[in-house]
Amino acid sequence: MDRTLVVIKPDGVGRRLVGDIISRFERRGFKIKAMRLFEFDSKLARDFYSPHIGKPFFPELENFITSGPVVAAVLEGNKAVDVVRSMIGDTKSFEAASGTIRGDYGLGYTDNVIHASDSTESYARESKILFPNL
């Protein structure tokens, strides 16, 4: 079985969408291997989003991800990275298809409700940052 990481962002937590979002993954057959509620501080945000430091959108991303609580989960299932990425939809919520998580719940580019690892390598790096004992 494969694993991937999702982070329900502050807009998703603030809008009380955690249950709806997690249930979509469970109904699809994914198992939750770990889950936690926490808040990113600036150091953790910079570690987690290190591939984006220096890009024009990074300051907005850092400000947004540190603006409130998030829920992170490690999901396990067949072709986890690819299936979860398909389920969440395009990064820009206004371009995401209806029926995807971002298409149904996202409001913009940064405030797009959810992050998901985009590769097995990203999952390995990101999960070690958020779940070091897993």
How many domains does the chain fold into?
1
What pLDDT sits at residue 111?
Answer: 85
Per-residue tokens: 129: 């940052």
Per-residue tokens: 9: 């962002």
Does residue 13 sit in helix, strand or coil?
A: helix
What pLDDT sits at residue 9?
Answer: 97
What pLDDT sits at residue 109?
Answer: 81
pLDDT tens sequence across 98-112: 999 999 999 888 789
pLDDT tens sequence across 73-95: 999 999 999 999 999 999 898 89
CATH number of the domain encompassing residue 58? 3.30.70.141
Q: Which helix (H) or strand (E) holds 73?
A: strand 69-77
**Residues annotated as part of the active site:** 115
Q: What is the domain extent for residue 70?
A: 2-130
Question: Does the pLDDT of residue 8 top 90, yes or no?
Answer: yes
Cβ contact 52:58 at 8 Å:
yes
pTM, to two decimals: 0.95
Cβ contact 113:64 at 8 Å:
no
- Spatial CB neighbours of 120, under 8 Å, sequence gap ≥ 6: 2, 81
